[in-house]
Amino acid sequence: MTTVTPVGADGRWVPADWQQWGHLVRDGVGCRWCGRAGSIGPHDGQMHRPAACLACGTVQCNDSSRCAACLYGWLPGWSRGGLVSADSRQCGYTGCAGDAVAGAPRVGRVCAAHLDRPRVNGRPLAEVIADHHRQALAHTGQQWRRMVWRPAARRSAP
């Protein structure tokens, strides 16, 4: 999978319905990028930090532990439940010490090198991630998953 946009680029992918959350931005509790509340405050410049999904590379607001585009990939800086240790960040396949990048059926977590091993409804996880990613950015998937690119110049409240 290729990175959609490098972290630190002048913009990020946000939910397509970001404008409907403008009242939260005006009230000072919503992110200036995505409009969603939570994990922000005046000390953050009223915005979430940008983060690239570890599985698909989509740059988005780092407001959740899972990627909004591919639904399986993880965003950096979040705990994955349970005890936080090096083991909880490793690939779930026996003998692999790679850093996990996504949640996976049966093994729990998987590294980038093993994304094609786990199956979701008979399809390789890498294929499912690519399909979800494409649908979210091309607006062909379910409406609640659609994402749009917002350049930095349009960060102000709607």
Angstrom distance (rounded) from CA 46 to CA 30: 7
Q: Is residue 5 part of a domain?
A: no
Domain that holds residue 134: 11-150
Q: Is residue 46 part of a domain?
A: yes
**Is residue 123 classed exposed, middle or buried when 0-12, 13-18 and 19+ CB atoms within 10 A define those classes?**
exposed
Long-range contacts of 117-126 (CB under 8 A, 24+ apart): 117/93, 125/72, 126/1
Q: Is residue 2 part of a domain?
A: no
Find tokens 């585009």 and name the residue: 69
68-97, pLDDT tens digit by residue?
999 999 999 886 655 556 667 889 999 999
Average pLDDT, the chain: 83
Q: Is residue 1 part of a domain?
A: no
How far CA 54 is from CA of 21, 124, 149, in Å, comes to 27, 17, 19
Q: Is residue 156 part of a domain?
A: no
Task: Specify the pLDDT at position 101.
Answer: 95
Q: Is residue 4 part of a domain?
A: no
101-128, pLDDT tens digit by residue?
999 999 999 999 999 999 999 999 999 9
Number of domains in the chain: 1
Q: Is residue 116 part of a domain?
A: yes
How far CA 57 is from CA of 13, 60, 102, in Å, comes to 11, 9, 12
With 90 as the cut, is the pLDDT of residue 8 above it?
A: no
Task: Specify the pLDDT at position 43.
Answer: 67
Q: Is residue 110 part of a domain?
A: yes
